[in-house]
Chain A
Amino acid sequence: MAKYLLLKHYRGGPAPVNDTRMDQWTPEELAAHVQYMEDFAARLETTGEFIDTQALSPQGTFVRSDGEGRPPVTDGPFAETKDLIAGWMVIDVETYERALELAAELSAAPGAGGKPTQEWLEVRPFLTEMPTVTE
């Protein structure tokens, strides 16, 4: 089996089909969206394909070393950062096609007006362990 990261972006991907921003949804629409995500994760656990899901705060800070013995240098947050990751789900599935199928299902989570957001998710394979037999 192979692990894949389903990456959800606040910004950076192509625009979703149902593109009303979340802060303009009704509370019921928000609740329905969250419920869909939770049900989806719970169902994946029963199929034996669930690994992890996490949401990220949009508040990020860039950090770098400033040389030995000096405090780290920080910068940001940058309001205009092009690529902003909202969260992820990690799945463990038999095939790449199954990973695509699940990503599409997750992207059908309801949004404004109860209609699927059809947002774009990025599917990235994990690097695996090195196989024992290579030649």
Chain B
Amino acid sequence: MNESLLRELVPAVIGVLVRRGADFASAEDAVQEALIRALQSWPDDPPRDAKAWLVAAAWHKFLDAARAETARRGRELAMEVEPPTGPVPGTDDSLWLYFLCAHPSLSPGSAVALTLRAVGGLTTRQIATAYLVPEATMAQRISRAKRRITGLPLDQPGDLATVLRVLYLVFNEGYSGDIDLAAEAIRLTRQLAGSTDEPEVAGLLALMLLHHARRASRLGPGSRLVPLREQDRSRWDTGIIAEGVTILQAALARDQLGEYQAQAAIAALHADAPSTSETDWVQIVEWYDELLRLTDSPVVRLNRTVAVGEADGPQAGLTELSKVDPDLPRYTAVRAYLLERAGDLAPAAELYAEASHAATNAPERDHLTREAARVRQLLRP
């Protein structure tokens, strides 16, 4: 059994322990310990029934911890020590876990960590490594989050919007070390889409797939950022694009538009185009208008100006840009690009350089520095 199949069992095993009377925090700890043991021992000694093995191991861990706790307090163990007999129920336990782990009372960072552990079945060490945080810190972040949600009623439907936000954050982190967070986000969103038929869940899944399909072309040698207009589109994964488009179309047909569906629609129009010049920019602008109506987000307004610049020419883009808050991240980079397209090279070069100093990540910073250098070359007599 490979590691990802093992991880898929984690929510169900937590569910079994909770149904046997364990509280969520203790159950989750016990399953994490069983998971770590499985990762160590299964390669040499694979179990016949993986789920039953995990349930038994986790239940023992839970009882050990419960006994130690009651001994510490000098009380009797109230919990029945023998588990109920019979087969493990096969109900889908993941849905309430999504809502619990992304509960609105948690900060986004805590919700991300807890979701990756309890729903994603990652170990604390793997999560810590993925986010470049010491393991002890990540362990504390997770137990703190669990304390915060202790005692919350589990039978009410949670806030789907925060669940989707958490999954989006995991996807957008972009770091690909040993744990591929983007792939993990897709797996968790796909699993969620199997448990609920909300069109926005499908919209988010489509959005992720449509971006993921283009991943190989986004970075060149030496982690060099390759902008969309220069990407080698033959490297886009057409199978994943087709899947994303199919999922999106089914979601849009439900006629309950939301921001993820609208974002996915924009991504689909890019994915569908053979080149930047053959892209349906007019339709992309229309989708940005929908997205603005749904979110009223300043970042959407800024991205829309780029699309307007392609659809109606750089002057139209610059006119739209004058209505956008200049303090937004990437504002200067967008202005530099539109000015260059308009043939105003000297200020464009200056603004590319200025934008590179304001960049919040190294690939973008280096890209903007190269853009400044490129435009300055054009200015030489």
Contact = CB atoms under 8 A, between A and B. Distances in A.
Contacts of A48: 109-110, 113, 137-138, 140-142, 144
A3 B133 CA distance: 10
A72 interface: no
A98 to B, nearest CB: 10
B109 A1 contact: yes
A19 interface: no
Contacts of B107: 94
A28 interface: no
A92 interface: yes
A125 interface: yes
A45 B137 contact: yes
A135 interface: yes
B360 A92 contact: no
B173 interface: yes
A46 interface: yes
Given A129-B361, A130-B364, A135-B303, A92 B133 contact: yes
A99 to B, nearest CB: 13
A133 B211 contact: yes
Interface string A123-135: 0010111111101
Interface string B241-283: 0000000000000000000000100100010000000000000
Contacts, number: 78
A50 interface: yes
Nearest to B173: A129
| Interface residue range, chain A | 20 to 34
B150 interface: no
A42 to B, nearest CB: 10
Chain B at the A interface: mostly helix, strand, loop or mixed? helix
A46 B108 contact: no
Contact of B360 (A49, A51, A128): A128
B306 interface: yes
Given A45-B140, A50-B134, A50-B137, A132 B109 contact: no
A131 B173 CA distance: 6
B367 to A, nearest CB: 9
- Which of A48, A127, A128, A131 has the most B CB atoms < 10 Å from its CB? A48
A45 B136 contact: yes
A133 B140 CA distance: 29
A47 interface: yes
A105 interface: no
Nearest to A95: B107
B360 A125 contact: yes
A46 B140 CA distance: 5
Interface in B103-134: 107-110, 113, 131-134
A101 interface: no
Contacts of B365: 127
Given A92-B137, A129-B175, A47 B364 contact: no
25 contacts: A1-B109, A3-B132, A45-B140, A47-B140, A48-B109, A48-B137, A48-B138, A48-B140, A49-B141, A51-B133, A52-B134, A92-B131, A92-B133, A127-B362, A127-B365, A130-B361, A130-B362, A131-B172, A132-B171, A132-B182, A132-B212, A133-B207, A133-B211, A135-B270, A135-B303
A-B interface, 5 closest residue pairs, ranked by CB to CB distance from nearest: A48-B141, A1-B109, A130-B363, A129-B175, A132-B174
Given A132-B182, A132-B215, A133-B263, 8 more contacts: A45-B134, A45-B137, A49-B141, A50-B134, A92-B109, A129-B174, A130-B364, A132-B174
Interface of A: 1, 3, 45-52, 92, 94, 125, 127-133, 135
